[in-house]
Amino acid sequence: MNGGPSGFNNAPVTRAFVIACALFTVFFGIQGRSNRLGLSYMDIFGKFRIWKLVVSVFAFSSTPELMFGLYLLYYFRVFERQIGSNKYSVFILFSMTFSLLLVVIALALLKDLAKNLVASGPYGLIFASFVPFFFDIPVSTRFRVFGVRFSDKSFIYLAGLQLLLSSWKRSILPGVCGILAGFIYRLNILRIRKAKFPEFITSLFSRLSWPSVGGPPAAPSRGNLPSFAGRPVERNYPSSMPSSAMEPSEDSIATLVSMGFDRNNARQALVQARNDVNVATNILLEAQSH
């Protein structure tokens, strides 16, 4: 599983977020201030260091955390491709804000247990993304290692577990708060999944972010896929056309394979959908439900 075609094609928000996390982490690392990152009770209820609140959602405290964190953020770009950059921006803002609120509440309750309890980094977004990953990304392959059963999703879970335990007590709390934020988003509290930013805000990411590295852009997403947004499958499939006139692109096939679908089935669905990734996904999901 690689999250689709290589690079950040059709994922400008993810690209901007990854760049911001890397720059913040490197900046504080060069200054030798990495060990001062992270939130404590005094940062919120004592001196109220607003800069730590901002930095805590971007900068990692160590190089291993940065490596695993950026890998997971890069993989989870598949969700931006599914629901679109606008709604993915809402998901980012909601998951980080709600998880940070839970962290602040936990600090208020656990103020006497640790001096610096919470690790720094976008743990809220990363672990909120594990909720749709668990429920909506199907397993495509299974295998055994020394008698233990694994799947292609196991590597993502192992990377998440490594990040969750990277700083032991300091990283568990923001990770758990991120998972709770992901569940709240999935439950569509206050209809959060239908919220959108003004289009000009998310379009800024496309103009300001660095160019994508990789092949040509994948087929654009024009609506919410049922796998992530939980909306009914639309059945307005295109009429059949000769296969020679609509050979699907490799990027479109790779996008569906990254969601866990079989390559041959993905190709056939794209042929039927005239290379529309959204419609092909609906076809494959309906086939699985029967």
Q: What is the CATH number of the domain that holds 97?
A: 1.20.1540.10
pTM score of the predicted model: 0.74
Within a domain: 138: yes
**The pLDDT of residue 266:** 84
The candidate with the shortest Cα–Cα distance to 78, out of 22, 136, 21, is 136
Specify whether 244 is located in the same domain as 189: no
On whether residue 69 sits in a domain, the answer given is yes
Domain-embedded: residue 206: no
* Nearest CA among 262, 274, 263 for reference residue 236: 274
Q: Does 108 share its domain with 185?
A: yes
Chosen domain end from 153, 185, 200? 200
DSSP letter string, 112-169: TT-SS-B--SSHHHHHHHHHHHHHHS----EEEETTEEEETTHHHHHHHHHHHTTTTH
Considering its fold, how many domains does the chain have in total?
2
108 and 178 both lie in a single domain: yes
Q: What is the pLDDT of residue 136?
A: 87
Neighbours of 139 (CB within 10 A): 12
143 and 281 inside one domain: no
**Residue 210 within any structural domain of the chain:** no
What pLDDT is stored for residue 129 in this prediction? 97
Domain check: are 101 and 244 in the same one? no
Mean pLDDT by 10 residues, the chain (290 residues): 70 93 92 80 78 86 93 94 89 95 88 71 96 88 88 94 87 94 94 85 59 45 44 41 62 80 85 80 69
Query: What is the per-residue pLDDT for 225?
Result: 42
Instruction: Kindly state whether residue 130 falls inside one of the protein's structural domains.
Output: yes
Same domain for 258 and 115: no
Is 226 domain-assigned?
no
Residue at 241 is within a domain? yes
Rounded to 5°, the CA angle 278-20-69 comes to 70
Enclosing domain of residue 254: 232-289
Contacts of 111 (CB under 8 A, 6+ apart): 41, 45
pLDDT at 66: 94
What pLDDT score was predicted for residue 111?
Answer: 74
